[in-house]
Structures are given as C-alpha cells and as structure tokens.
Amino acid sequence: MAGKPLIIILGPTAVGKTGLAIEVAKRVQGEIISADSRQIYRLMDIGTAKPSNEQRAAVPHHLINVVNPDENLSLAEYQRLARTAIDTIHTKGNVPLLVGGTGQYITALVEGWSIPQVAPNEALRTELEHFAERDGAAALHQRLETLDPKAALNIDYRNVRRVIRALEVCIIAGEPISELQRKQPPDYDMLHIGLTTEREHLYEQADKRVDLMIQDGFLSEVEGLLNAGYSRKLPSMSGLGYAELTAYLLDHLSLEEAVTLTKNNTHDFIRRQYTWFRGHDPGILWHNISNDNFEIIFDIVDGWLKELG
C-alpha cells in the first residue's frame, strides 16, 4: 500500500453509519475503528447500538468493549488506541475506517490534538461538581468562559463533565486548555464521508430506533447494570436512554415519559452533532441517505484509493 489511507465515515446518530461502513469495508478489505464514546463500554450493548455479533464477524472492529462502565477512557487514551489500531491495520495491508458520531474523538485524531497531560484531581472535580449542582450548569460554564473563552465556545454548557475537565486543566496547568491543545495532523491520506438526511426524517429514524431498543430489552440492560452496582452518577450511565430509564427505575418517572424524554434528548444530541461537524469540517463529502444510492460512495472510495496507488 503506497499511502496511509484512512476513510472517515461520520454523521449524526441513527443515520446509518454502521451499515454503510460494513459494506465499504467489505469492498476495500477494510477494518472498522469505532469513534463512539458509548460503545467503548462493556455490558452496554443495546442502548449504544453496537454492531451485532454478525456484523463484527463480517468485518473486524476495533475500540468496542474497551472498558467497564465504572472505568474512564480519556480522550488522550482513545487517541493513542485509535492510532495503534490504524497502524496495525496498515501493517496488514488493509484499509482502516474510522466510523462514528463522536465529533471530539474524530476531530482529535484527524487534527492531531496534543491532549494536555494533566492528571485527574478528584478533590477539584468534586468541588466543581458540587458547584454545578448548587448553582447550575450554566454558571459553571460561565467560569470556563472567564478562564478560557475559546474552549467555552466549543463546549456545550450541558456537558458538565467536559466543562469540569476543561476547568480542571486550566486551574492545574495555569494555562487555557485551548492553548495546550496544539495540533499536529497525522500523515494519513484521509477521505471524509458524511451521512445526512432531512432533519425530520432523521428524528423519525432515531425515534424508531429507541422503540426497537426497548423491544430488544434495553430496560433489562439498564436494570442489570444498576443491580451489578454501577452508580447512576457514572459518566457511562449518563448516556442517552440510560439516564432516562434509570429515572424510571429509581424515581417516579413513568416508562412512557422516560421513552419520550429519551427521544427528545436524542433530537437535541443530533443537533449538537451537526453543530460540531459544521465547526470542524475538513472537506467532508456529505451524502444524503434519502437518495438511497450508496453506489456513488462506493465509486468515490474506489477512485480515491486508486489515486493513492
């Protein structure tokens, strides 16, 4: 293989990335690297829409089931594991496909972010968590705006965990996290393919997927995690559906309310995904899945690989 190809298939949740990626991988002797911050967790299968066993048997997958629900995988560690997987795939003469909807994972890898090496400070994190609980997520975000306006622009105030991490780095390192996140892009030849569709159609697809997850035993999965001792306060349990179904199991939310809330929060998440991709667009070739014609994408991939030699 002359170059170091990396095909990136990205897009919002429920748009159909997995199905396309598997078909592309079959055509180009590819292997898939997950860029999904929820699929890294073991025991969380239904709610994270992991590829099925059949799909994983058809095409090798990497960075799925990496840590337990009570373990943390930092962005720097994800970046290291993804680079290792890409290099291993290249060594075999195969084509790596980076596939997912976690914009931060994708952008950090393809832009070559230098992740600040600041160790977690549990005391500081606890203090900031209490501040957010007492004064609200917006007030916590305001503190980040004061210390690092650039970072604050790129972090949604509702993502309290990321806001806390940015504040933690700023306070401990004494420098804005945005200054520490210098970039050195890797020497891969990259093709960015984005999947999209009309927003209302996408919301309908996402809603149907939530209903199918419930039918497939999503509630039992959440109940099993809680019974195994995994706290609702864990970052892993804050994922779409997990937090809402936990509220049904432990609080006074009805199942219908929990499902509706999951759907609404998924819509919000989709909007945030599009915002991220718009802000970090290195020349994404967007394809509307409503056209139902993936042959165009196959032709683009085949032509691009031929040009690389």
- Give the pLDDT confidence of 71-121 residue by residue, as tens digits: 999 899 999 999 999 999 999 999 999 999 999 999 999 999 987 778 889
Max alpha carbon distance in the chain (Å)?
Answer: 60
Task: Please report the pLDDT score of residue 115 as a whole number.
Answer: 79
Q: What is the topology classification, in CATH, of domain 122-180?
A: Histone, subunit A (1.10.20)
Q: Is the dihedral of CA 148, 154, 157, 160 positive or negative?
A: negative
CA distance 158 to 161: 9
Read off the tokens for 84.
């290792």
What is 5-113+190-218+263-308's CATH number, 2.30.30.90, 3.30.720.200, 3.30.70.1450, 3.40.50.300? 3.40.50.300
CATH 1.10.20.140 boundaries in the chain: 122-180
Stretch (H or E) spanning 9: strand 5-10
- pLDDT tens per residue, range 28-77: 999 999 999 999 999 999 999 999 999 999 999 999 999 999 999 989 99
CA 181 to chain CA centroid, nearest Å: 19
Q: What stretch(es) of the chain map to CATH 3.40.50.300?
A: 5-113+190-218+263-308
Question: Using DSSP, how many helices (H) and how many strands (E) does the chain show?
Answer: 14, 6
pLDDT at 31: 98
The 10 Å Cβ neighbour count of residue 3 is 13
Model pTM?
Answer: 0.86
Sorted by sequence, the CB contacts under 8 Å of residue 91 that are 6+ apart come out as none
To 10 degrees, the CA torsion angle through 23, 24, 25, 30? 170
**Structure tokens belonging to residue 115:** 């992740």
Q: What is the distance between the alpha carbons of residues 31 and 94, in angstroms, rounded to a whole number?
A: 7
Q: How far is CA 275 from the centre of its chain?
A: 14
pLDDT of residue 2: 56
Res 259: pLDDT? 98
Cα dist from 205 to 12, 118, 123, 200, 266, whole Å: 11, 40, 42, 9, 11
Q: Which token pair is 85?
A: 């997987």
Mean pLDDT along residues 159-170 = 93
> Token pair for residue 278?
């718009």
141-152, pLDDT tens digit by residue?
A: 999 999 999 999
> Averaged over 282-293, what is the pLDDT?
90
Using only C-alpha atoms, the chain has a radius of gyration, in whole angstroms, of 20
245 φ, ψ to 5°? -70, -30
CA dist 261 and 279 (Å) reads: 27
- Find the helix packing angle between 295-308 and 17-28, rounded to 10°: 40
